Amino acid sequence: MSTFWSLWIIVLTLTNLALVLWVLLANRKVAARDDEDPENRTTGHVYDGIEEYDNPLPRWWFKLFIATFIFAGVYLLLYPGLGSYPGLLGWTQEGELRGHQQQAQARFSDQFGRYADTPIEELARDPDAMKMGLRLFANNCAVCHGSDGGGNWGFPNLTDDSWHWGGAPEQIKETITNGRKAAMPAWSASLGEQGIAEVTEYVLGLNDREHDQEMASAGQQHFQRNCVACHGADATGNPMLGAPDLTDGVWLYGGEPAEIRQTLRVGRNGEMPAQEELLKADRIHILAAYVYSLSMNYDEE
């Protein structure tokens, strides 16, 4: 906060307190007129035949207001409330949040931490641990991947065996911990609409779907020149790069010809945010086991 705005807030705050205090003190006593009953003074205003009395606040009420001003003065000395003045206690909302987070971490460390040394494959079969994993998934992952892990348009299905970055336990844990950032480049400029249509036909053919064989043959040439570096010569993908398998019929952004062409035309840039700071290692270990269990279908055994 700049010095100007800090001073501005200080002046406004203190001026308002001073004015309110002045109004309170100025109305503490009311001068009585000679022609008035001192016990029943009125303001002279009449509303629907009802006169408005002009008496000072009761003493207990007045003292209560004075006590609030004393409290406000003490508060503004101890805590930040006057511009950039930090307060004598040095309290900050960031520090308060960190304190609560540390308390929560300490409180739950035993609950989550007792599974830290259990292998993910074993943990995925533990009903109590998976109840925790379900809650963690619902709170942190369901908004993108769905409450059942079945995915959404642009967000992978976690219940099948198609994994862009690998489905081994440690790969899943790595994905959750550090996040992933995919980058499918746009090919419109280099391939043109005809080239994009030809590659689309080739990809459809890889999945044994109806396609134009002549266009697919031309598309294969484009694929060999531009796509094998990521998706591999056989188009089965590369988990190291997050390049999906193009032969398994699983489509993150839709598998209709028009959707495939749009992916080739403009590219895709999906991102899985890192959860390391939010969830910490003990929760991530349980969550990774839960995600791993989704594709293993242990509940059907």
- The 10s digit of each residue's pLDDT in 233-258 is 999 999 999 999 999 999 999 999 99
pLDDT score of 85: 92
What's the mean per-residue pLDDT of the chain?
91
- Identity of the amino acid at 35: D
Three-state DSSP at 15 gives helix
Tens-place pLDDT, residues 92-113:
999 999 999 888 878 877 788 8
Question: How far does Cα 27 stand from its chain's mean position?
Answer: 52
pTM for the model: 0.67
Determine the average pLDDT of the residues in 132-161. Answer: 95
d(CA 9, CA 26): 26
- pLDDT exceeds 70 at position 118: yes
List the domains of the chain with CATH numbers: 3-78 (no CATH), 99-181+273-300 (1.10.760.10), 188-269 (1.10.760.10)
> What's the mean pLDDT in 197-216?
96
Lowest model confidence (mean pLDDT) among 19-28, 39-48, 248-257: 39-48
- Angle at which helices 188-206 and 213-226 pack, to 10 degrees? 120
Tokens of 199: 């590659």
Cα separation, 178 vs 279, whole angstroms: 11
Q: Is the pLDDT of residue 161 over 80?
A: yes
pLDDT band at residue 210, thresholds of 50, 70 and 90?
very high
Question: DSSP letter at 300?
Answer: G
The angle at the Cα of 57, spanning 52 to 60, to the nearest 5 degrees, equals 145
Rounded to 10°, the helix 188-206/257-266 angle is 150
How far, CA to CA in Å, does 219 sit from each of 191, 204, 233, 254, 283? 10, 10, 13, 19, 46
The rounded distance, in Å, linking the Cα atoms of 115 and 129 is: 8
3-state helix, strand, coil in the chain (%, to 5): 55, 5, 40
What is the predicted pLDDT for the residue at 226? 95
For residue 300, pLDDT over 70 is answered with: no
Share of the chain above pLDDT 90, in %: 77
Range scoring the smallest mean pLDDT among 41-55, 146-160, 163-177: 41-55
Question: What average pLDDT score do residues 260-287 get?
Answer: 94
